[in-house]
Amino acid sequence: MIHVETAQLLAYLGNAAAMAFVLAAALGISDRWLVRVSSGWRAALGTATLLAIGILPAVALWPSRPVPVAAFVVDTQAVAAAAPFASTPFHWSNILLALAALAAGGRLMWVALGVVRLDALRRSSLPTTDPTVRQSSQVATPVTFGFLDPVILVPQDQWAQMPAPVREAVLAHERAHIARRDYFWNLCVEVMTLGLWWHPGVVWLKQKLTLARECSCDDLAAAWLPDYADRLLEAAAQLLPAPVPQGALGVLDGDSFSKTDALEVRMLNLTRSPWGGPLARRAMIAGAAFLMAAVAVTVTVFPVVAAPPDRKTYTMKDEGVKAPKLTQKVEPKYSEQARDAKIEGVVKLHVVVNEEGVAEDIYVLEGLEETLDQNAIEAITQWRFTPGTKDGTPVAVEATIEVNFRLL
């Protein structure tokens, strides 16, 4: 049997996955004219799109628990005498949620290890005359990280051998990352897409965002250094094969398929002439943003996966409805924790008894203690009923079940 919490999580993942595909397609359609507008606007749109994939599916499911009206009441009683937990029925949804939790947990650990690793690099680095720049023997290319106290790490041995103009260009690019707060927004995107990091649409959107972000930093650096493009090419010749630590932002980030491809796109971005006037460019980005927002709102208002399942349910107030009858009951068990704390009282639960006589859409209306609430839910999932009927036909009927826990 599937609990309402499980249905909500599956609905969230399903809607988020659908939204990722739809928004990636919408961005792909608008990509042809977006290439003509500012890289900063494109990066902002990409960031907003990825954050929307994580936030809007949750908004679509809120609120999701109606208060039952005029339901019949079944009273049962649990006595502190048996094992602490009732057995839990298994369902295919548990497998899906376990895989999703494993994927999200693994990604969270990967992100957290990257943050820890970067902190270790910061602590082991050596200061320079510039307080925002530190040298490290453990990085092979200049990188930036940190949003409260951002720092630029440069390779200790190779840095001194690079020509001064190249060093200046690299630092200009990394300072652009700091000015744009790219590390913070990148971390937000990672957190909001933890459950869908594997999704092809999310992967593609992240690639587009990364490339737009690097182009935007190039634009800022080029405004500070007129010959920045030539210096960037020279830096790439010396640093291109070097890996970037997980979570950091490097001067040669922006891989679409490879760093060489990304560098070509970035050079074209630096050398292209602006198209149209400011008003035309703003109109294009506004049009693209409107398209993405319209798609996001549409998927939010009309979710692809519904939770709980969409069907007609009845109450005892409805004409011609007869209440289900309990035919098989499993007693809820006292938990050791509640027994030791001498907790007694009533747990009131909302239940829908479906057309097969099985309890579902179970949640707590009035709780007593966390473990007792959960034990009551787990027991009721194993109950069986003669289905309620309307005019002789089995229907789903709302019920309020009160479980009385008392100590001997």
Per-residue pLDDT of the chain (408 residues; tens, 9 = 90+): 344 456 677 778 888 888 888 888 878 877 776 666 778 888 888 898 898 888 888 776 655 444 444 455 555 555 443 333 333 444 566 677 778 888 888 989 999 999 999 999 999 999 998 889 999 999 988 999 998 889 999 998 888 888 999 999 999 999 999 999 999 999 999 999 998 999 999 999 999 899 999 999 999 999 999 899 999 988 888 886 777 888 899 887 755 445 557 888 888 888 876 555 566 556 666 766 676 677 666 666 656 544 444 568 888 888 888 889 999 988 888 888 888 888 888 999 999 999 889 998 888 999 888 889 988 998 998 999 999 998 888 999 998 888 888 886
Question: What sign has the CA pseudo-torsion 24, 25, 27, 32?
Answer: positive
Helix (H, G, I), strand (E, B) or coil at 126: strand
339 is written with which tokens? 């027994």
**49, 292 in Cβ contact below 8 A?**
yes
- Evaluate if pTM is beyond 0.75: no
Q: Cβ(355)–Cβ(396) under 8 Å?
A: yes
Separation of alpha carbons 301 and 336, rounded Å: 44
Pair 299, 56: CB distance under 8 Å: yes
Domain extent listing, the chain: 313-406
Burial class (CB in 10 A: 0-12, 13-18, 19+), 405: buried
Q: Note whether 10 and 98 are within 8 A (CB).
A: no
Distance CA 357, CA 71 (A): 16
247 touches 117 (CB < 8 A): yes
Closest-CA residue to 344 (of 59, 35, 79): 79
C-alpha to C-alpha distance for 349 and 74, rounded to whole angstroms: 10
CATH class belonging to 313-406 = alpha beta
Paired strand residues for 206: none
Whether the Cβ atoms of residue 306 and residue 11 lie closer than 8 Å to each other: yes
Of the candidates 188, 171, 182, 147, which has an alpha carbon nearest to the alpha carbon of residue 251?
171
Taking alpha carbons only, the member of 178, 274, 271 closest to residue 217 is 178
Residue 120 tokens, joined: 């270790």
Q: Which residues of 147-179 are buried (b: 16+ CB within 10 A; e: fewer)?
A: eeebbbbbbeebbeebeeebbebbbbbbbbbbe
Name every residue whose Cβ is closer than 8 Å to that of residue 237 and which is 6 or more positions away in sequence.
Answer: none
* Nearest Cα residue to 174 out of 148, 149, 135, 143: 143
Backbone dihedral region for residue 54 (phi beyond 0: left; psi -120 to 50: alpha; all else: beta):
alpha
Distance between CA 298 and CA 231 in Å, rounded?
46
Question: DSSP states of 232-299 as a string?
Answer: HHHHHHHHTT----TT-EETT---SSSHHHHHHHHHHHHHSPP-S-HHHHHHHHHHHHHHHHHHHHHH
